[in-house]
């Protein structure tokens, strides 16, 4: 599915600007100011119009939990349209460390899990990589135990794992945290048991982890106040194709009927809606016309619940929300507050509809 995006179909003429000599840009070559192992850099000369076609990659935020979900499945899973990024490569290395056979080429990943012989991922990788924590649900559900390091860079106050732990306990797991690891096992060596669990807030990661765990639990599980993002639906489609049975995906309640076994399947990861939105914004701010494909059905700038994980990225999310249709809820505003003073007031002075909501413990318990 292709999408043509032209934010200015009938642009008004832009008056010519006076000519000024173009300033020269100089980049310091001083060895004293350069790090010993510098990251790559981009040098951008602005002012160019954009045109042409962009092929949108598969969603990283879908690929990571679906790669973890292959651990739920016996046999072989073949995933297509996998974004070739450091995070996806690290996730495949996590699976390989556990004993899975991995083939990764041309944006396709083949995972064979019958050789998995460990329930503890490499702590070195886990210490640097938040996405690896997804494996706790599949490992616990299929093998009866899991020992998984706390997510890399995890600030327990801002990115709690308590909601994961509480959810797994609701499915009959015995879980404790020791030595910066979450140690979980099923009671008496049996399978997880279906149960009821209401998330304190609709965490995407916790929803996905509990979905994977419940697919192999014995009996029926009801998860409420769950996340409803398209990536949740994508994970559910993969699990369903592998033999899982669930209802209500895309709503705030999911019912999962556990199976004793899932079998690997072939599945295509959904297009990355964040990458799609980024290129749409690129066209908008440069007054350009481009085409994009494939795109997630109905993909456009639409308001949703999002998390600002850093200062500049958070500000980009706010700007996208100003251009989106509907209401955007930006969480993690403390990151933005580090660099922008009275942001919402300044935007309101320009005519934006922006409101700040402060939360206390009493608010969160209601």
DSSP output for 272-293: -HHHHHHHHHHHHHTT--EEEE
**pLDDT at res. 34:** 52
Please compute the mean of the pLDDT values over residues 251-262 and round it to a whole number: 97
Rounded distance, CA 108 to CA 88, Å?
11
- Total structural domains within the chain: 1
Residue 305 binned pLDDT confidence (cut-offs 50, 70, 90): confident
Indicate whether 12 belongs to any domain: no
Decide which of 309 and 41 is more confident: 41
How far is it, in rounded angstroms, from Cα 277 to Cα 301?
A: 6
The tally of CA atoms less than 13 A away on the side-chain side of residue 90 is 19
Q: What is the pLDDT of residue 92?
A: 96
Contact residues for 79 (Cβ-Cβ < 8 A; gap 6+): 63, 66, 67, 70, 108, 109, 110, 111, 266, 267, 268, 269
Percentage of residues of the chain with pLDDT beyond 70: 84
Of the ranges 95-109, 267-281, 303-317, which is most confident? 95-109
Residue 335 has pLDDT above 50, yes or no: yes
Tell me the average pLDDT across 78-90. Answer: 93
Q: Quick check: is 162 in a domain? A: yes
pLDDT band at 205 (very low <50, low <70, confident <90, very high): very high
Share the mean pLDDT of the chain. 86
What is the C-alpha separation between 243 and 258, in angstroms, rounded?
10
pLDDT at 214 over 80: yes
In tens, the pLDDT along 120-145 reads 999 888 877 788 999 999 999 999 99
Q: Which of 154, 215, 299, 302 is catalytic?
A: 154
Task: Output the pLDDT for position 118.
Answer: 96
Indicate the SS3 state at residue 140.
helix
At 1, the pLDDT band (50, 70, 90 cuts) reads low
- Identify which has the larger pLDDT, 32 or 149: 149
pLDDT higher than 50, residue 25: no
> Is pLDDT of 20 > 60?
no
Rg, Å, the chain Cα set: 23
What pLDDT shows up at residue 257?
98
**Looking at the domain assignment, is residue 20 inside a domain?**
no
Lowest mean pLDDT among 103-107, 133-137, 320-324, 336-340: 320-324
Question: For residues 299 and 361, which has the higher predicted lDDT (pLDDT)?
Answer: 299
pLDDT computed for residue 364 by the predictor:
44
The pLDDT assigned to 3 comes to 65
Task: Report whether pLDDT(198) > 90.
Answer: yes
Q: Is the pLDDT of residue 299 over 70?
A: no
Assess whether pLDDT exceeds 70 at residue 195: yes
- Whether pTM exceeds 0.85: no
> Which domain does 114 fall in, by range?
60-268
In a domain, 180, yes or no: yes
Average pLDDT of the residues in 168-195? 94
For the stretch 44-67, pLDDT in tens is 999 999 999 999 999 999 999 999
In this predicted structure, the answer to whether residue 288 has a pLDDT above a threshold of 70 is yes
Q: Is the pLDDT of residue 363 over 80?
A: no
Closest CA to 138 of 289, 239, 9, 27: 239
CATH code, domain carrying 222 = 3.65.10.10
Asked if residue 97 is part of any domain, the answer here is yes
Assess whether 302 carries a catalytic annotation.
no
> Is 73 a member of any domain?
yes
Residue 250 lies in a domain: yes
Q: Considering the domain boundaries, does residue 16 fall inside one?
A: no
Task: Read off the tokens for 77.
Answer: 């899973």
More confident position, 185 or 156:
185
pLDDT at 359: 66
Judge whether residue 152 has pLDDT over 90.
no
How much is the pLDDT for 238? Answer: 98
pLDDT at 91: 95
pLDDT at 154: 42
**CA pair distance 165, 59, nearest whole angstrom:** 26
């Amino acid at each position: 599915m292709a999408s043509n995006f032209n934010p200015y179909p009938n642009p008004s003429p832009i008056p010519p600007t006076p000519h000024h000599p173009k300033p020269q840009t100089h980049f310091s070559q001083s060895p004293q100011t350069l790090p010993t192992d510098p990251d790559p850099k981009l040098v951008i000369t602005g002012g160019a119009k954009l045109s042409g076609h962009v092929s949108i990659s598969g969603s990283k935020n879908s690929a990571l939990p679906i790669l973890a979900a292959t651990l739920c499945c016996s046999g072989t899973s073949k995933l297509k349209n996998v974004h070739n990024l450091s995070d996806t490569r690290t996730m495949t290395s996590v699976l390989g460390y556990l004993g899975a056979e991995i083939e990764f080429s041309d944006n396709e990943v083949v995972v064979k899990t019958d050789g998995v012989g460990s329930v503890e991922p490499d702590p070195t990788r886990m210490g640097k990589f938040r996405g690896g924590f997804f494996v706790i649900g599949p490992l616990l559900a299929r093998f009866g135990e899991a020992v998984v390091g706390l997510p890399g860079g995890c600030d327990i106050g801002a990115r709690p794992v308590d909601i994961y732990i509480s959810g797994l306990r609701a499915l009959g797991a015995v879980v404790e945290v020791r030595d910066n690891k979450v140690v979980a096992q099923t009671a008496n060596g049996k399978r997880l048991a279906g149960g009821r669990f209401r998330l304190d807030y609709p965490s995407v990661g916790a929803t996905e982890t509990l979905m994977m765990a419940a697919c192999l639990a014995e009996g029926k599980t009801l998860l409420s106040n769950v996340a409803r993002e398209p990536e949740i639906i994508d994970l559910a489609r993969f699990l369903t194709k592998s033999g899982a049975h669930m209802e209500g995906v895309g709503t705030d309640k999911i019912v999962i009927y556990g199976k004793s076994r899932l079998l690997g399947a072939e599945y295509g990861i959904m297009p990355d809606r964040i990458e799609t939105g980024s290129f749409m914004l690129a066209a908008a701010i440069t007054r350009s016309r481009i085409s994009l494909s494939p795109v997630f059905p109905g993909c456009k700038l639409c308001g949703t619940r999002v998390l600002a994980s850093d200062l500049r990225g958070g500000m980009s999310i706010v700007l996208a929300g100003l251009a989106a249709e509907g209401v955007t809820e930006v969480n993690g505003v403390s990151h933005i507050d580090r660099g922008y003073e009275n942001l919402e007031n300044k935007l309101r002075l320009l005519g934006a509809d922006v409101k700040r909501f402060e939360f206390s413990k009493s608010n969160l318990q209601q």
